[in-house]
Structure 1
Amino acid sequence: MKVLIAATALTGHINPLLSLGRRLAARGDGVVMTTAERYREKVEAAGLRFSPCDDGDAAAYRETDLPAGPERYRREFVRRFIDPIPVQAEVLHRLVEAERPDVIVAGSLFLGVLPLLLGTRPRPPVVVLNVSFLFLDRPDHAPVGLGLPPARTDAERAHYAVLKAGMDAAFVDPVRAYADAQLAQLGLPPLPASLPHSIAVLPDLFLQPTVPEFEYDFGTLPPNLRFTGLLPAPSAEVALPDWWQARDRAKPVVLVTQGTLANADFGELIEPTLAALADRDDLLVVATTGGRPVEALRGPLPANARVAPFLPVDAMLPEVSLLVTNGGYGSVSQALAAGVPIVSAGLTEDKAEIGARIGWSGAGLDLATNAPSIPALREAIETVLVQSRYRARAASLARAFAGLDAGSAMLAGIDDVVRTRWILRGIAA
């Protein structure tokens, strides 16, 4: 089988698609992956063919002139993911003609697949691998993006409906209108629903790399949706540091990260976490800067802390007692799959929703802020470390993850949609 993979040029989006690409290639499928040129070496090192997609490095765009809030998030979303649609779609059309793939597998924010899904040109089946929480429209009328847990009462549902009207006016409707305008310029019909909901329901198959226990009850799910569990992370590109091997293993480890995107200001989470735990001689505090220089951290490094630009987190998590994170979906999923409880503090991008699920699931605490105070962090970390119910709930989720073979589920799903397309072609012929 010939597979075309399309990935948004962000590490958290690239890695799961690379992991799936390796599995496809390992069983003998021909795989070509398109993304930004700067990921060529990484793609080729995975044994996949590379084809560049030059969308002007749109995914790395940051809006620096606005405070956190719907307008800033709208501008960033539009620039990162909607503006590249024409370029990405043209790349896909060209590769479909040149490669004749049996299936396209795209990350959920590689929106260049929308013209294929909405257009009338012949196309192979399209599989979307989600890189975030399940962003279907909520049956309790909660707006997507504010990080609200499921409503428990009619009064909460009514309140959520009011909030949704405001969120729709400020973010959802303008984003949908902007995307529809882009599609119209390409001669395509408008989206059938909100943009996030459309991304989930339009593909032939939508893969959600988590377990149902970490998602809300959406009622009847779309027939194209499949929960798969988590693909193991790609082999670490960095070795375990010497200090990790030589550490005092009697001391619990607290790992803190701001990911690789929302890490421009370490004063939001990493620095206050280091400060909150600076006097804890009974802990080892480990931080990763997501590729930024360690020297970007301000102030002296506490004696109980170790910092590195990158760390082999997948290899370390089984021995980590707590993850402190701004809510990146990949790191959160990895932690839960390893049974590690979480303290979350982040509101940008999709992080409010991911943090809300951490709190709702019982696997940790969600501080629901971009910049938690040192006392708030200290109290939350102590609570999660001391109260066994958080680790017990994280362990329960880890068992659920272990019960799903993500690789097999994803490959089987891809095979199913390809087989169905060939059957339909045979019937039509």
Structure 2
Amino acid sequence: MTEITAPAKAPPRSTRERLAATWRKDTEALSPRVLRRTLAELQAIVDPRASEVEGGRRARAFADWYAGAPAEQRRDAWLLMSEQFGADPKKIHSAREHYEAVQGTPEEGAAEIRLRRALVSARTRLLQRFAAFPAGMRFLVDLRAELLPHLRGDKRLLPLDAELETLFSTWFDVGFLELRRLSWDSPASLLEKLIKYEAVHDIRSWSDLKNRLDSDRRCYGFFHPRLDGEPLIFVEVALTDSMSDCITPLLDESAAVSDMDKATTAIFYSISNTQAGLRGVSFGDSLIKHVVETLKAEFPRLKTFATLSPIPGFRAWLARHAPADKLASWEKPLELDAKAPQRQELLSWAARYLGRELQDGKPLDPVARFHLGNGARVERLNWAGDPSPKGLKQSFGLMVNYLYDPKRLDKHRATLSQGVIPMAAAIEDLYR
């Protein structure tokens, strides 16, 4: 019996093909006629004859349409922005040829400027016009957040995403950000944002939040003037007399407030990004540096700055590398005695994961990649550091302290750039 093979599905038409067509095809959201009209509206936004004010007005009108459009029509708008607003290849080719021809002559500088201008796409100018009206930045950040999950399945959208990320890296440079302390006296709308965006240890109630903003705690966030009222990233800090080895006491609402006269250590126990649309734009490093300086000014006795961090990738990595019988012996880690060989073996595997495992020259674990990239070092592994269901699921309850030594941050970054993960001797001893 001959097997019947289903015909291969035809690739989707490009916007160029659709704009030249007469009829809508398959699942295309906008008909060719409406697609042409939509393109004309986008082109009008960047019309060189339109003033910045008029361009911004047209961009706002398009954003209003977009806000009410269904997902499929929004996707067509992305495709138009991505495929129809690239740089002019003829201008690039001509400018590059001229630049190469005048190397070493007095005209070289002017030729470089011409080439740079040729490389600026109409897409850049389009996105700049959207950013011009008051809610435009919010519009673009939300647009990219919606766009990101579609990139893997549709490579045509990559130019739009890359353009947005490049512009955001400039627009959200740390020089334009404001560090603010968040306290129990902050507006309720802002406190609600903390509850919504907390990504490491869920805030269970208002009393839980109040505990995290008590007198022995600090919470700081970076704010952008065009996204006022919403932090881009925030960090929660506990002020203690030693390096914390377990998250439970820090989240215990009934625990006594620490004696601030004895506080010598600042523990960064949660860092949360709030804007999915700003993925790839890094300001966590600057946030920690600014917070360290702010804390040192307020509390001169503070000498140690460290994290109490989860190890989110550990269990999944271990499942791929450790023998199955070993994995079974670790399923109830909280029941293992301090001298149990299974406990020491699990710590040894965790030390290897954090201290040796690299991907493209960077630490494999995402949280380790962030902190070590900022110049911290792996300081200590903590058994039962997070005994919650989430902690057990991620890392068998293990947590790690990353130490931020302000005098050695550059040294640690240099060490990491050479493919060596900075770590305390105690971590090395665990897997020797």
Q: Please, what TM-score do these two structures have when normalized by structure 1?
A: 0.23
Identify the structure with bigger relative contact order (alpha carbons < 8 Å, sequence gap 6+): 1
Task: Pick the structure with greater CA Rg.
Answer: 2
Q: Please, what TM-score do these two structures have when normalized by structure 2?
A: 0.23
The structure with the largest helix share of the pair is: 2
